[in-house]
Amino acid sequence: MVVSCVAGVVVLSQQLSERHPVLVLARPVTAGQVLSAADVAQVMVAADAGVAMVGAERLGEMLGRPAALDLRPGMLLGEELLGLAEAPAAGEAVVALAVEPGRYPPHLQAGSSVLVVPVSSPVMPGQTAVPVPPEGGWQAVVLAVSAPGADQLGGSVLTLRLTGTAARVVAALPADAASVVLVSGRGR
């Protein structure tokens, strides 16, 4: 019995000594959001060689990179989770929306949850009114914010992820026909 206990302690100590510091998600991160130091934490794990994970010593390399998809707290951080956002999930779409200054918060960034609100404008003959959902707008997640270039006047282009139905309506809005409201929450 003494030999069995000693053998168990030896095996346990070997397993504990093979643990390595790795990075995990400390809080939710939405697709397109740039990874910050507050988004990750360090934990000690022992895992098989086939498990995708990033060593804690590579923290500096990971910061500032966008998430390729929505990430949940506690997930092991792996290279495949970072980079360009994946194609939208089933039932979702990605749309670009040109927005003039004053129609969106100036500090808007990737990962922000927003509400796209149509600006009331008179309906011209032959046009139909934009169907507005009961919430007063369409919920979306910002994937990117493009500042105006030298050839553009004023506004920015927001890349938004929202439901496919909402994306079709938002994409059909005339120029400067929407405001973007920052709402609480990270993702949907």
**pLDDT tens-digit map of 47-84:** 777 777 888 898 988 888 888 878 889 988 888 888 76
Predicted pLDDT at 38 = 93
Under the banding of pLDDT at 50, 70 and 90, the label for residue 177 is confident
In the predicted structure, residue 116 carries a pLDDT above the cut 90: yes
Mean pLDDT of the chain: 80
In the predicted structure, residue 10 carries a pLDDT above the cut 80: no
First to last CA, the chain: 55
In the predicted structure, residue 188 carries a pLDDT above the cut 50: no
In the predicted structure, residue 151 carries a pLDDT above the cut 60: no
- In sequence order, what are the residues at sequence separation of 6 or more whose Cβ sits closer than 8 angstroms to the Cβ of residue 115? 135, 136, 137, 138, 139, 140, 180, 181, 183
Going along the chain from its start, the domains and CATH numbers come out as 2-81 (3.90.1210.10), 92-182 (no CATH)
Q: Is 29 helix (H, G, I), strand (E, B) or coil?
A: strand
Structure tokens at 104: 């969106």
Predicted pLDDT at 176 = 77
- Closest by CA to 26, choosing from 50, 11, 47, 42, is 42
pTM for the complete prediction? 0.57
